[in-house]
Structure 1
Amino acid sequence: MERIGILFALFLISIIQLVGQVEVSGIVVDKITKEPLIGANVVVAGTTNGTVTDWDGSFSFAAEVDLPFTVESSYLGYELSTLQMTEVGEKLTFELSEASVIVEGVEVKGQRISDKQKAAPLTVESLDIIGIKQTASANFYDGLGALKDVDLTTASLGFTIINTRGFNSTSPVRSLQIIDGVDNQSPGLNFSLGNFLGASELDINKVDLIVGASSAFYGPNAFNGVISMTTKDPFINRGLSAKVKVGERNMLNPSFRFADAIRNKNGDYSFAYKINFFYLKANDWEADNYEPVFDTDTGKNNPGRFDAVNIYGDEYQSNYDLRKSLSNPGLGIFHRTGYKETDLVDYNTENLKANASLHFRLRPEMDFESPELVVASNYGGGTTVYQGDNRFSLKNIRFFQHKVELKKRDKYFLRAFVTHEDSGDSYDPYFTALKLQERAAENGEWGSAYINYWNITANPQIKGLEGFPKTSSFPGDPDGYRAAINQFLSNNSTLLNQLHASAEESANKGVTFNQTNDFLLPGTDPFNLAFNDIISRVANSEGGTKFFDKSALGHVHGEYKFNDVYQSAGVLNGIDLLVGGSGRYYIPNSQGSILSDTMGRNINTYEYGIYGGSTVSFMESKLKFNFSARLDKHQNFNYLFSPAGSLVYNPGRNTYLRLSYSAAVRNPTLTDQYLYYNVGRAILLGNIGGVEDLIRVESFGDYLNAQDITLLEYFDVDPIQPEKVRTIESGFRTTLFNKVYVDATYYYSRYRDFIGYQIGIDATFDNFINNPTSVQAYRVSSNATDVVTTQGFSIGLSYYFAKYFLVTGNYSWNKLNTQTDDPIIPAFNTPEHKYNLSLSGRDMMMNLGSLKMKNFGFNFQYKWIEGFIYEGSPQFTGFIPTYALLDGQVNWNWKARNLTFKLGASNLLNTMNFQTYGGPRIGRMAYFSVLYDWNKKT
């Protein structure tokens, strides 16, 4: 009985503590456009009790006051609005009007960032609907490069990649991109193709970049960050938006969005729908870097050509290296005639995206708090250039995604989606170059023809020149004799260049050995016939270079939030709980052109995971402890545990301190597990089962030089395993002097089991003199053994002044601490220092003599990126020089006609720059757009 009495007393105390608490919730919108205002302040009048609106303009907080009371809402550039709350459960709708006077002093309460985001246990960078409209870049996706901690890489006009915190690549397998919670990755490649298959700009409401390890929150592959896009809600954003953008490089970009909602007989919105269409056509940037590949033995002055970055088929081959041959003076190293990428790639970029979704409110009387059923379908496709280990021409690629979801705002969701892809007519230009060369001669035949010309024609001419060194002058000194020959040849460089040109021409003629065809010259009918034949045949199975990929994946994800499991006015204020789980099934289908799914082999795989978390609030919710943990299982790998925890302290309004620990895992991709792709020089091999008895490349070279088989060194490669990272972060957000918004972050990360690759040789030898009878090089997926640490710091500042203007700047520092010779460690590929500066203004008055025009805006963005070594494949490894970019735009909003005119340019000064080694030089993209944006108000 005593225990019952104590429990009853505690119950009464908790009831007393809850008395007087009222939930204040609703939405804040622009009075004219009805668009939600993100980051608007909402407080109980006369108190500091309040919050900031979320991405859709909504808000919710608990107030310890007695009814009725007054609630105020304010927003930068808008008039203060007040509403009376008279009953429990009432939903407030604030419609804010733009301020009619210029205010020189502006109080900054935030940077359109909700309290939820400020208190998030992870580092979050955001681009909201206003930022999207104001971006100076040619599109909103490129505009994300202005955010701190973000590395943006453009490999082609249709292929821009976002990475964060190092170990970047043009195959962003360490980051996750989701649109309305749906993973946007390609089922076969296991990463997203930028926004090529993503959402239309007209439908984007907000983009959040969750920076750093976050598997505990987003599942496997949220390794270095998450790009989370949220599209517009057709219940809130109703009406017609249509835009036409034209620009340099023959760019044409029409798009439109239409959304509407229907009321039921009670006058409540019960059904909404939206449709989107986006089309882009332009001439792509051409990859025409004909400089020697970084760190090669031959350069521009080599008489026998050199390996150029964007010429394929001219790579170094050991049997073309006769520098040690005294019987062939001047032959040295020679390279085969290759093909320029510009002769092999379709640079006519096209991108078509379409989307439709149906939204059903199951309890319409609850308005936006109603449970909602969403059925959506997306299509994306077109032609562009993708860069991975090679440059790839993605031609007529198609991507389908279908979703059904049941959700209730801030409570639960159950989501299922399927993704299908069709590689269309995509092909590998590099491998195509090798196949074209084979049509004329095998490499051995071509090299023999080159050497034969040298023996018959070049040697007599060189040795017959006056002053050619005599062997007798260097008795017992072959090195001295070789040095004398080299000096003699350097004095006769013109003749040497002519002889190499003649040797190349002779080898390219189909008149020696088993050759039957001349070198196929680009633009000729024989070239076009052979080229079209090669790219129309599937790689591996049909002897061509075309991809066949009709892979698919299915995904189910559910989550439930237990809000306010415990609530009190004491030291411990509240406890929220969250539980969820997800599962995914991969269905690869490449018919052996990329993956080892031949001979009936089933390589379908599955993965699943469960997770849970809690938020505990203390000290009037000024201190919050967040904890999350996730357990994942992949069919081919053991269970993996990803914990995360954080402390967020709010000592004063708009000031937040954060300390967090997070973990992430990355399961090997399908290509890491099952790749089987012959690129001519080697076979790229996935490694799900391990590989035994490969020969180290260096030892094979020693064997060839010495003809001593005992010099061969063998090694095994263990089966591939998931990558792992652990990160500690600290963060600080505040507003200084009511004018300057500050956001700073520091992180330290520790990585294990990096996924890279090892190169080895499989060879057989005869039983008599140990000559090789077969030699095959392999590049095998593998894990690193070294542990690697990185660290970084970033800070962003924003200053609002004179109502109209905003100055922002951010700086990021990223450092790879561990110096390692382990070739498996993937390249850091990140500038140590970079910064962004911008000046923007909106809703300004412009005086043109006696004519005064309202609603002008502008944005100018300066970016500086320090040079760094970019390490990709051997062909695409080199130095990216330091570069700077200036983006700019001016716009005018003709509100009476719902029109916005925008004139701008990315890379305004046309400073041609490389953003990835092996990619094109990126220049200016000037554009002009007209947007019609009609928002339905009833």
Structure 2
Amino acid sequence: MRLSTLLAVCCLAISGTLSAQVTLNGTILDAENGDALIGATVLVKGTANGTVADVDGSWQLTVSGLPIILQFSYTGFAPTELEVTDPEQDLTVRLGDNAVTTDVVEVRGRRISEKQQQAALTVETLDAIAIKETAAANFYDGLGSLKDVDLTAASLGFKIVNTRGFNSTNPVRSLQIIDGVDNQSPGLNFSLGNFLGASELDVNRVNLVVGASSAFYGPNAFNGVIALETKDPFLQPGLSAQVKVGERNLIEGGVRWAQALKNDDGNPWFAYKLNLFGFRADDWVADNFDPVFGTELGRDNPGGYDAVNIYGDEANNSFDFRRDRRAPGLGVIRRQGYKEEDLVDYDSENLKAGAAFHFRLNPSRTLESTELLLATNYSTGTTVYQGDNRFSLRNIQFYQHRIELRNRDNFFLRGYVTHEDAGDSYDPYFTAIQLLNRHKSDAQWQTDYRNFWRGNISPQLTNMEGYPDCFPQSCDITEFRERVAAFVAQPAIQALLPGYHQQAREVAQRAIAPGTEDYYEVGTQRFQDAFDEITGTLISEGGTKFYDKSALYHLHGEKQFADVWQPNESSDLDLTVGANYRLYTPDSKGTILLDTMGRNIDTWEYGVYGGGTLNLQNRYRISASLRADKNKNFDLLFSPAASFVYTPTDRTTLRASFSSAIRNPTLNDQYLFYNVGRAILLGNIDGVENLVTIPSLVNFVNSGDETVLEYFDVPAIQPEKVKTVEGGIRTTVGSSLFLDATYYYSRYDDFIGFNLGADVDFFSGILSGAQAYRVAANARDRVTTQGFSLGTNFYFADYYALNGNYSWNRLNTETDDPIIPAFNTPEHKYNLGISGRNVPVNLLGGALTDFGFRVNYKWVDGFIFEGSPQFTGFIESYGLLDAQVNFALPGINTTLKLGASNLLDNQVFQVYGGPRIGRLAYLTATYQLDQR
């Protein structure tokens, strides 16, 4: 798939008549409590002429004549339109808080909304305005600058968002939803970032709920929820298009068209939107050839070493010849593996297409009408994904279809289905092993290497002056080995060893014994033919290709009851109840899961929940909820939550909350069966018995004493649980400074991790076979974490803002339990930024207007990133500088944006085993034409 530019910018001829200027005055208030909405937007419909409300909600705007239509909007409130025909008309406008937002890029100021101010949980928001001005290359990367957020890049196309610790390249502890629809891969049970998500042109806002949230969002909302909200075609009709070009041969384009149709009464009754997005770029190359963290051998070992992004050169106990007296200098050897860049498709591509159709069943009620919604989305692409190994996702496809009946702030009944197709995806790590095994087995390779050394190199060394010749006449074997080691350590001998090893390696690369092949050399047709055959054959049939056509079916209904109890005008009780049902139908043909031999591993789960919020005198808000979840394979579990919010003044909110979450084991945790060559990765739905610990097996091999073997059982996997208490304060100082501080403390039980062990067989007291397993398991220890975060925004000189945030996260528990998953989170991180929005600068005679900019610096403390043994290591502290400038071309309804993420090209690892992430400079043109 090669993508070309998807944007065609249209130039429109706009004519109009001039009339006398008129100055209008008015006020914008909160309809619920009468508070002034500081910074609310007033805009002349169809123009860029607008203003914002002052500290008392008042505004003034000069227009070219009447009649006109004014648009009023504020973050977290439904937009309102008003026709103005008389300059003396009462223009006091009250906005209702029903969580419908609009895309108004002309906003010149930003304040925190009442709705967000009074949220019980920590909620970070990236709205349409912030998306426009983010200094990152796209809106999803822009999440990384928010408070409490860890954004990890495993490749250019695969970004992972985590919060509050236990960061993972398999983000199973975070839930990502788009318009309430789970965006996960049905086979993997987690979302692949925005690779299979929404087009930036259609994203209205992103709410990131930090912390345990199962009571509000269901299972797997463990450490956070990424909730994307797309644009409503009724509220945001028109044509928008975008093209982006940049470094690494980046080319990206998107187009969105939305239209609302009116009935004979002039009320919109049907609206639809169409989206198309395409992206391609040269991905970051994973070329870390340093020795794997914590391994014994370094670059200076003449027999080779285990490099991070070279696969097939890993440790094998039979490759250690330091005790072989017939092979002095041979030492420890490693096979010549294959670099990842020789095994992976780095042409990262992504195509998304979507359509949605909205029907208002009672058009005269406009926003309050019940709607029927039909939507479908398709995504495909190629990228690199990192889990236990690095995986090449090639031509992966997702299909998602939704039907929904809803009435805003009243009820919804939603059903959707997600299908996936792994396409031509494969495991490059296992591909390297397969190529080496086709050449020779490990045993045959080391035999050929050792025999050449004994027959050709050893005689040269033993005949050299100074070589010890005391055994067995005048020294024992231990002293003899010590003398040989001293002899080999001499600089003159060390200088010879690399050449000797190169000779031995060249011999071992050739076919010698019957049934062996020459080494498959990268770049040859022979290599390519073998590579294509291996990656084109299913894992279950001896290759490395995945088969995954799993599906997810989901039904969800919710009903809200407003003002169930209202003792007075300033107090009320609202209730919410809901339920959902989900069915997974895995289909991997045994390449990933235990779904062979007719075994049915379909899995269902359901949940019911209810809760209420008591608002007292517009000062106190008490909420409580309870959710019960049942999975086919696990017991009924409960997730309670409660919060208290106190608003002593209109500008300050104090909050305290208790929340909880569960995480059901994924399909992999339950049914995985994946042979990676030297071990089998095993799910654990039934429990595993009589495994031997790996250290005791090593002791047995060295000693031959069967009594040193330590046996253990692994109980069947169980869901994870977490409980969190949290407190915070949000306040606005004056009209310009906003502060948000949070502290949390979490307790985790039954972490899901892995146990390593081996199944051994004996015949007549002799070890006849051993198979290594990595088994999904729960931790035995309880773990606690805590953290603090502070965010601040300071607005000045009408158009400018300073912002910053700091996060501290700490794993309190010190344990040697090997199952505890890695915290993988920097203890300290912060962001500092400055921005200007819609600065009234007119350049080139007014051809360029509304100048804006943003500069953001992010610093991340160093930390240990623990993945698989191959991909565990230290991530050094790093800082990244992002910057962008933007300005409008009003003559052609276009905004240009020039920017760069990692402007200083500071090459950094964000995940161990992944690529170095460098600069990505880009130029974006966005065309916007609202439908008249």
For 1:869, give the aligned amino acid: I
| Change in CA separation of 1:856 and 1:86 when aligned onto 2, cut-off 3 Å | closer
**SS state at 2:91 partner:** strand
**Where does residue 246 of structure 1 map in the other structure?**
245
Determine whether 1:933 maps to 2:917: no
Determine whether 1:582 maps to 2:580: yes
Following superposition, the deviation at residue 774 of structure 1 comes to 1.8
**Where does residue 868 of structure 1 map in the other structure?**
863
1:748 aligned to which of 741, 745, 750 = 745
Following superposition, the deviation at residue 24 of structure 1 comes to 8.3
| Change in CA separation of 1:44 and 1:934 when aligned onto 2, cut-off 3 Å | closer
**Where does residue 351 of structure 2 map in the other structure?**
352
- Cα displacement string for residues 601-654 of structure 1 (whole angstroms, at most 9, x for unaligned residues): 000000000000010122x12011010110000000000100000000000012
Contact 1:32 1:97 (8 Å CA) reproduced: no
Contact 1:846 1:852 (8 Å CA) reproduced: no
Determine whether 1:808 maps to 2:803: yes
Following superposition, the deviation at residue 39 of structure 1 comes to 11
**Where does residue 31 of structure 1 map in the other structure?**
44
- Cα displacement string for residues 359-394 of structure 1 (whole angstroms, at most 9, x for unaligned residues): 001111111111111100001111000000000000
**Where does residue 13 of structure 1 map in the other structure?**
none
Q: Which runs of 5+ in 2 are unaligned?
A: 1-30, 60-71
**Where does residue 144 of structure 1 map in the other structure?**
143
Instruction: Provide the C-alpha distance between the structure 1 equivalents of 2:499 and 2:668, rounded to a whole number of angstroms.
Output: 46
1:632 aligned to which of 622, 629, 632 = 629
Contact 2:609 2:627 (8 Å CA) reproduced: yes
- Cα displacement string for residues 302-332 of structure 1 (whole angstroms, at most 9, x for unaligned residues): 1110000000000001111122333322122
2:723 aligned to which of 722, 726, 742 = 726
The correspondence of residues 564-575 of structure 1 with structure 2, limited to 5 A, is 564-569=563-568, 573-575=571-573
**SS state at 1:568 partner:** strand
Instruction: Provide the C-alpha distance between the structure 2 equivalents of 1:286 and 1:522, rounded to a whole number of angstroms.
Output: 17
Contact 1:37 1:57 (8 Å CA) reproduced: no
**Where does residue 261 of structure 2 map in the other structure?**
262
**Where does residue 782 of structure 1 map in the other structure?**
777
The correspondence of residues 38-117 of structure 1 with structure 2, limited to 5 A, is 55=75, 57-58=77-78, 83-84=91-92, 111-117=110-116
**Where does residue 499 of structure 1 map in the other structure?**
500
The correspondence of residues 274-313 of structure 1 with structure 2, limited to 5 A, is 274-313=273-312
Following superposition, the deviation at residue 474 of structure 1 comes to 9.5
1:905 aligned to which of 891, 897, 900 = 900
Instruction: Provide the C-alpha distance between the structure 1 equivalents of 2:180 and 2:761, rounded to a whole number of angstroms.
Output: 52
**SS state at 2:539 partner:** coil
| Change in CA separation of 1:789 and 1:460 when aligned onto 2, cut-off 3 Å | same
**SS state at 1:628 partner:** strand
| Change in CA separation of 1:134 and 1:45 when aligned onto 2, cut-off 3 Å | closer
Contact 1:81 1:96 (8 Å CA) reproduced: no
**Where does residue 647 of structure 1 map in the other structure?**
644
The correspondence of residues 519-918 of structure 1 with structure 2, limited to 5 A, is 519-540=519-540, 542-569=541-568, 573-618=571-616, 620-767=617-764, 770-846=765-841, 853-918=848-913
**Where does residue 208 of structure 1 map in the other structure?**
207
Following superposition, the deviation at residue 753 of structure 1 comes to 0.4
**Where does residue 7 of structure 1 map in the other structure?**
none
**Where does residue 227 of structure 2 map in the other structure?**
228
Contact 2:269 2:363 (8 Å CA) reproduced: yes
Contact 1:30 1:95 (8 Å CA) reproduced: no
Instruction: Provide the C-alpha distance between the structure 2 equivalents of 1:118 and 1:825, rounded to a whole number of angstroms.
Output: 36
For 1:672, give the aligned amino acid: D
Instruction: Provide the C-alpha distance between the structure 2 equivalents of 1:811 and 1:261, rounded to a whole number of angstroms.
Output: 44
Contact 2:393 2:424 (8 Å CA) reproduced: yes
Instruction: Provide the C-alpha distance between the structure 1 equivalents of 2:923 and 2:767, rounded to a whole number of angstroms.
Output: 63
| Change in CA separation of 1:385 and 1:263 when aligned onto 2, cut-off 3 Å | same
Contact 2:401 2:416 (8 Å CA) reproduced: yes
State the number of aligned residues: 880
Q: Which runs of 5+ in 1 are unaligned?
A: 1-20, 47-51, 61-70, 72-78, 103-107
For 2:587, give the aligned amino acid: N
- My pick for the range that moved more, 709-718 or 477-486, is 477-486
Contact 1:38 1:56 (8 Å CA) reproduced: no
| Change in CA separation of 1:869 and 1:217 when aligned onto 2, cut-off 3 Å | same
Contact 2:644 2:656 (8 Å CA) reproduced: yes
- My pick for the range that moved more, 841-850 or 659-668, is 841-850
Following superposition, the deviation at residue 483 of structure 1 comes to 3.1
Contact 1:234 1:259 (8 Å CA) reproduced: yes
**Where does residue 49 of structure 1 map in the other structure?**
none
| Change in CA separation of 1:775 and 1:852 when aligned onto 2, cut-off 3 Å | closer
**Where does residue 6 of structure 2 map in the other structure?**
none
**Where does residue 17 of structure 2 map in the other structure?**
none
- Cα displacement string for residues 505-529 of structure 1 (whole angstroms, at most 9, x for unaligned residues): 1111101x33431110001011001
Q: TM-score, normalised by structure 1?
A: 0.90
**Where does residue 481 of structure 1 map in the other structure?**
480
Instruction: Provide the C-alpha distance between the structure 2 equivalents of 1:690 and 1:285, rounded to a whole number of angstroms.
Output: 40
Following superposition, the deviation at residue 54 of structure 1 comes to 6.3
Instruction: Provide the C-alpha distance between the structure 2 equivalents of 1:902 and 1:829, rounded to a whole number of angstroms.
Output: 34
Instruction: Provide the C-alpha distance between the structure 2 equivalents of 1:673 and 1:93, rounded to a whole number of angstroms.
Output: 41
The correspondence of residues 299-338 of structure 1 with structure 2, limited to 5 A, is 299-338=298-337
Contact 1:756 1:825 (8 Å CA) reproduced: yes
Instruction: Provide the C-alpha distance between the structure 1 equivalents of 2:113 and 2:736, rounded to a whole number of angstroms.
Output: 17
- Cα displacement string for residues 645-698 of structure 1 (whole angstroms, at most 9, x for unaligned residues): 000000001211100000000000000000000000100000000001111111
Q: TM-score, normalised by structure 2?
A: 0.90
- Cα displacement string for residues 401-423 of structure 1 (whole angstroms, at most 9, x for unaligned residues): 00001111111111000000000
Instruction: Provide the C-alpha distance between the structure 1 equivalents of 2:128 and 2:88, rounded to a whole number of angstroms.
Output: 21
Instruction: Provide the C-alpha distance between the structure 1 equivalents of 2:41 and 2:364, rounded to a whole number of angstroms.
Output: 19
**Where does residue 3 of structure 1 map in the other structure?**
none
**SS state at 1:698 partner:** helix
Following superposition, the deviation at residue 895 of structure 1 comes to 2.1
| Change in CA separation of 1:29 and 1:837 when aligned onto 2, cut-off 3 Å | same
| Change in CA separation of 1:449 and 1:364 when aligned onto 2, cut-off 3 Å | same
| Change in CA separation of 1:615 and 1:760 when aligned onto 2, cut-off 3 Å | same
Following superposition, the deviation at residue 456 of structure 1 comes to 1.2
For 1:584, give the aligned amino acid: R
| Change in CA separation of 1:675 and 1:55 when aligned onto 2, cut-off 3 Å | farther
Contact 1:23 1:88 (8 Å CA) reproduced: no
**Where does residue 158 of structure 1 map in the other structure?**
157
Following superposition, the deviation at residue 470 of structure 1 comes to 2.7
**SS state at 1:333 partner:** coil
- Cα displacement string for residues 159-206 of structure 1 (whole angstroms, at most 9, x for unaligned residues): 011000000111100000000000000000000000000000000000
Identity, in percent, stands at: 55
The correspondence of residues 377-392 of structure 1 with structure 2, limited to 5 A, is 377-392=376-391
- My pick for the range that moved more, 602-611 or 456-465, is 456-465
**Where does residue 15 of structure 1 map in the other structure?**
none
**SS state at 2:286 partner:** coil
**SS state at 1:616 partner:** strand
- Cα displacement string for residues 283-320 of structure 1 (whole angstroms, at most 9, x for unaligned residues): 10110000000000111111110000000000001111
Following superposition, the deviation at residue 593 of structure 1 comes to 0.3
For 1:419, give the aligned amino acid: T
Contact 2:259 2:272 (8 Å CA) reproduced: yes
Instruction: Provide the C-alpha distance between the structure 2 equivalents of 1:596 and 1:80, rounded to a whole number of angstroms.
Output: 74
**SS state at 1:187 partner:** coil
**Where does residue 185 of structure 1 map in the other structure?**
184
Following superposition, the deviation at residue 737 of structure 1 comes to 2.7
Instruction: Provide the C-alpha distance between the structure 2 equivalents of 1:82 and 1:915, rounded to a whole number of angstroms.
Output: 56
Contact 1:389 1:873 (8 Å CA) reproduced: yes
Instruction: Provide the C-alpha distance between the structure 2 equivalents of 1:86 and 1:873, rounded to a whole number of angstroms.
Output: 56
For 1:757, give the aligned amino acid: F
Instruction: Provide the C-alpha distance between the structure 1 equivalents of 2:682 and 2:49, rounded to a whole number of angstroms.
Output: 51
For 1:149, give the aligned amino acid: D
